[in-house]
Amino acid sequence: MMVTNGLFKFSRNPIYLGFLISLLGVWVLLGIVLPILGCLLFILIINYWYISYEENEMEKQFGAEYREYKSRVNRWI
């Protein structure tokens, strides 16, 4: 069963988005520039490695239903 309600109505990856917001919070809390590199690295790895793989698997499993969901809900926000 594919979940499309709750936070998944607004983002296909609300958990990764929450991690990113947490990392940005740490960056602001520390008040130095260095942690932004971790945020950028996180975005690159998650976006191009994990999410791409997961979306391919979801498309294999759910087919047209997932493609329709993907067309109406953004990857991040």
Counting as low any pLDDT under 70, the low residues of the chain are none
- Give Cα 8 to chain centroid, integer Å: 10
Q: What is the pLDDT of residue 7?
A: 96
- Give Cα 57 to chain centroid, integer Å: 15
Q: What is the pLDDT of residue 34?
A: 85
Cα–Cα distance between 8 and 75 in angstroms, integer? 10
Radius of gyration of the chain from its Cα atoms, rounded to whole angstroms: 15
Cα–Cα distance between 31 and 27 in angstroms, integer? 6
Q: What is the pLDDT of residue 57?
A: 98
Q: What is the pLDDT of residue 35?
A: 86
pTM above 0.75, yes or no: yes
